[in-house]
Amino acid sequence: MAIRSRRPRAKAALLPVLLTGALALAACSNGGSSAPASQGGGTAAKTLVIDTSFNLKTADPGRTYEPTGLIVGKAAYDTLLTFDGSDVTKPVPSLADSYELSADGKTLTLKLHQGATFADGSPVTADDVVFSLDRVRDMKGTPSFLLDGVKVEKTDETTITLTSKTANPALPYILPNPALGIINSKLAKEHGATADPGDKAEQYLNSASVGSGPYTIESVNISSQVVLKANTKYWGPKKPVYDKVVLRNVESATQKLNVARGDSQVALDLSGDQVKGLPGNLQVNKTPSANVVFLLANRNSAVSETTSNPKFAEAVRKGIDYTGLLELAGEGSVQAPGVIPSMILGALPADQGAKRDVEGAKAALKESGVTDPKVKLEYPSELTLNGLSLQGIAERIQANLKEVGITVELAPSPVTTALDNYRNGKEELGLWWWGPDYPDPSDYLVFLPGKTVGLRAGWKAGADKEIEAAGDKAAAAIGDDARKQAYVDVQTKLNASSPFIPLIQPSQNIVTAASVTGLEFHPVWTVDVADLGTK
């Protein structure tokens, strides 16, 4: 689990506040599209209703890093660069027409698009860009790490230069994050925005938007719903199709009822089981999510003499029935051959995924010298991932390892307790997941010794110098081909000797009404509202 604050996969978990079915159904009962429209023009449709389980703390782009907040931010705030649909292999222009990374990977130069305007009609300037990025970095909010060590300068009225102290080839992949949306600095400053921890603009930005995106924020209630309205002055190519878009906080079971009866047009959080038996007039988009579920076997002998034995970890890796886990996860899920998910540069080929080998697992356990091992498996009890409960995965692992001769005690706990033990490296065995902070392989170097997740598994710096050297080489690599090979090498080494066992990428199941067009799952912002049209 990528824990900073963004999602139970990626940041400190924020439990969704679940509305009752009655409230969910009453929130916007006439939410269907009524007027025909087409992407990029035509008569605007009335309202699009999207049901999702909220993970939302704020609509301030400089502070948001939760999934629902990123959906809102993507709709209301343009970024310098973006991605084309679901393809995260290549950043493309948005507010910047072009970008160039220096040969040493330290300097990124961007040429700004001329003619972009904010929702109030004022032009987007280089000064707005500098203030916006400085504000994110220097407020020291949740997403500030995205620009750690990056200096932002206006070279001239049309040129921005980002300079890093060390090679930073991931920067073009970081800039599309909605947390780095460009704000109208003049208007924001009038409402307390500053580029330091004293910033006081959040309250204002929770009730209004000062961006240049295709939609603007009409209202925000972080526990119930967000209403977006079309930016009629939008400068870009994706003209808003809907007059309004309503995001409602609804538990997954009610999401299924709502979309089936036409009370909503999009349901974002249904499990593989829940999408079965839906009416035939609905569209179901099934694709592997960017969440990688993994096991950790703690290498700190003070935590566990058993799991700190590398041969024990090998026994666990060989003892798991990965095919069975995929059956549990449902259609659209895939095995995770490494810690980097399949859609990101440097992902391992599917055929390099671990295979179950019960006899090999028993042999590794015998070599470990550990007899009749009993270990505790910890995980958050009340969280689900893409509609999938961790309880079911834990039970399968328990049964798999029993066949090898390993007794696993399941120890689910409330998320706050589980997170505390995980972050402080206290778990013998841990079941978590990691999703991308940004779709670049460098985000997964945290699994190395001495890094964030490595330390959570009791894997200290210096524990494996060969892997650490491979990580340093990958971090400094420039160019797609060199980077891809470097990260494949890192993961191959991780699979051979690390405390981590990648398991699966659960399916992301998104259900839409037949009238909704243009939906593509995105691993950072889930769905781009501006891509959605109607027929």
pLDDT over threshold 80, residue 12: no
Q: CB of 513 within 8 A of CB of 505?
A: no
Q: What does the pLDDT average to over 22-51?
A: 51
pLDDT over threshold 90, residue 383: no
CB atoms within 10 A of CB 36: 12
Q: Percent of the chain beyond pLDDT 70?
A: 92
Q: What is the pLDDT of residues 162-189, one digit of tens each?
A: 999 999 999 999 999 999 999 999 999 9
Which segment of 7-21, 83-97, 353-367 scores lowest on mean pLDDT? 7-21
Q: CB of 432 within 8 A of CB of 379?
A: yes
Q: Quickly tell me which residue has 């340093």 as its tokens.
A: 472
CB atoms within 10 A of CB 294: 23
pLDDT over threshold 60, residue 274: yes
Q: What is the pLDDT of residues 73-114, one digit of tens each?
A: 999 999 999 999 999 999 999 999 999 999 999 999 999 999
Residues near 510 by Cβ (< 8 Å), separated by ≥ 6? 266, 267, 268, 270, 284, 285, 519, 521, 527
Q: How much is the pLDDT for 55?
A: 86
Backbone dihedral angles phi then psi of residue 121, each to the nearest 5 degrees: 95, -10
Backbone dihedral angles phi then psi of residue 210, each to the nearest 5 degrees: -125, 45
Residue 71, SS3? helix
CA distances from 533 to 238, 261, 443 (A): 10, 20, 33
Q: Which residues pair with 84 in a beta bridge?
A: 87
Q: What is the pLDDT of residues 246-261, one digit of tens each?
A: 999 998 889 999 999 9
Q: What is the pLDDT of residues 407-427, one digit of tens each?
A: 999 999 998 899 899 999 999
pLDDT over threshold 60, residue 329: yes
* Sheet architecture: strand order including 107-112: 96-101, 107-112, 159-164, 150-156
pLDDT over threshold 80, residue 13: no
Higher pLDDT, 503 or 46: 503
Q: How much is the pLDDT for 45?
A: 61
Q: CB of 526 within 8 A of CB of 9?
A: no
Domain 292-505: which CATH class?
alpha beta
Quote the strand ranges of 280-354, DSSP E.
282-288, 292-297, 334-335
Q: How much is the pLDDT for 531?
A: 95
Q: Where are the domains of the chain?
A: 21-286+509-534, 292-505
- Quote the longest CA-to-CA distance of the chain: 72
347 DSSP 8-state letter: P
CA distances from 307 to 2, 312, 376 (A): 21, 6, 10
Q: What does the pLDDT average to over 138-160?
A: 96
pLDDT over threshold 50, residue 41: no
Predicted TM-score of the model (pTM):
0.86
CA 112, 115, 118, 124 dihedral sign is positive
Q: What whole-number distance in Å separates Cα of residue 490 and Cα of residue 503?
A: 17
Q: CB of 487 within 8 A of CB of 340?
A: yes
What is the per-residue DSSP string for 6-48? SSTTTSS-----PBPHHHHHHHTTT-S--S--BTTBSSPEEEE
- The helix-helix angle for 310-319 and 358-368 (nearest 10°) equals 170
pLDDT over threshold 70, residue 459: yes
**CA 233 from centroid of its chain's CA atoms:** 30
- The matching CATH number, chosen from 3.40.190.10, 3.60.20.10, 3.40.50.300, 3.40.50.1110, for 21-286+509-534 is 3.40.190.10
Residues near 226 by Cβ (< 8 Å), separated by ≥ 6? 56, 59, 68, 72, 217, 219, 220, 246, 247
Q: What whole-number distance in Å separates Cα of residue 66 and Cα of residue 213?
A: 19
pLDDT confidence band for 381 (50 / 70 / 90): confident
pLDDT over threshold 90, residue 236: yes
Q: What whole-number distance in Å separates Cα of residue 254 and Cα of residue 457?
A: 37
pLDDT confidence band for 307 (50 / 70 / 90): very high
Q: Which residues pair with 98 in a beta bridge?
A: 111
Q: What whole-number distance in Å separates Cα of residue 202 and Cα of residue 64?
A: 10
Residues near 201 by Cβ (< 8 Å), separated by ≥ 6? 60, 188, 191, 192, 193, 194
Residue 145, SS3? helix
Q: What does the pLDDT average to over 61-72?
A: 94
